[in-house]
Amino acid sequence: MEQERPSYLEQVSQEDWEKTPASVKKLVESMVGGIEKLERQVTELLEVQQHLSEKVNKTSLNSSSPPSSDPPGFGEKLQKKKSGKKRGGQPGHEGKSRDLYPVEKCSESYDHHPPTCACCGETLSGEDADPYRHQIVEIPPIEPIVIEHR
């Protein structure tokens, strides 16, 4: 009674297989069975590895998980290159500021006359035709209107 040959043994001709001693046939067949079992295990392990790899690589960017579940150090922002420009408005930039209220609408007005020049220290006298103006707008405190009904 001839047994069915495992797929690995298809490389061996039928004639050579029949000449092989029974003890060697038994050993080869058990080794082929072991190889097939190991190949199944490798396939299963590769599937598990792929699943775990996908699970590890999930971040808040590519899944619905919250950012707190991201691994430490994930998403650290790269430092921008400095442009070499100074902070603030650049030369030639049109400035933005609030318009001044007319003097008539101001509640109070104070004139300040420094005794000396801030740059050179010379004594100052006379009036400036176009002085620097600075306005402070104060919002009065809100008082509730209390109405009593009887």
pLDDT tens for each residue of the chain, 150 residues long: 455 655 666 788 888 888 888 898 888 888 888 998 999 999 999 999 998 888 777 888 888 888 888 878 777 777 888 888 888 888 888 888 888 999 899 989 998 888 888 889 888 888 888 888 899 999 999 999 999 998
User: What's at 111, amino acid-wise?
Assistant: D
Looking at the domain assignment, is residue 144 inside a domain? Answer: no
User: Is residue 3 situated within a structural domain?
Assistant: yes
- Residue 72 included in any domain: no
Q: Is residue 83 situated within a structural domain?
A: no
Global pTM value: 0.38
Does residue 78 lie in a domain region? Answer: no
User: Does 36 fall in a domain?
Assistant: yes
20 occurs within a structural domain: yes
Number of domains observed in the structure of the chain: 1
Q: Is residue 119 part of a domain?
A: no
Are 9 and 20 spatial neighbours (Cβ–Cβ below 8 Å)? no
Q: Give the ranges where the chain is alpha helix by DSSP (H).
A: 14-19, 22-56
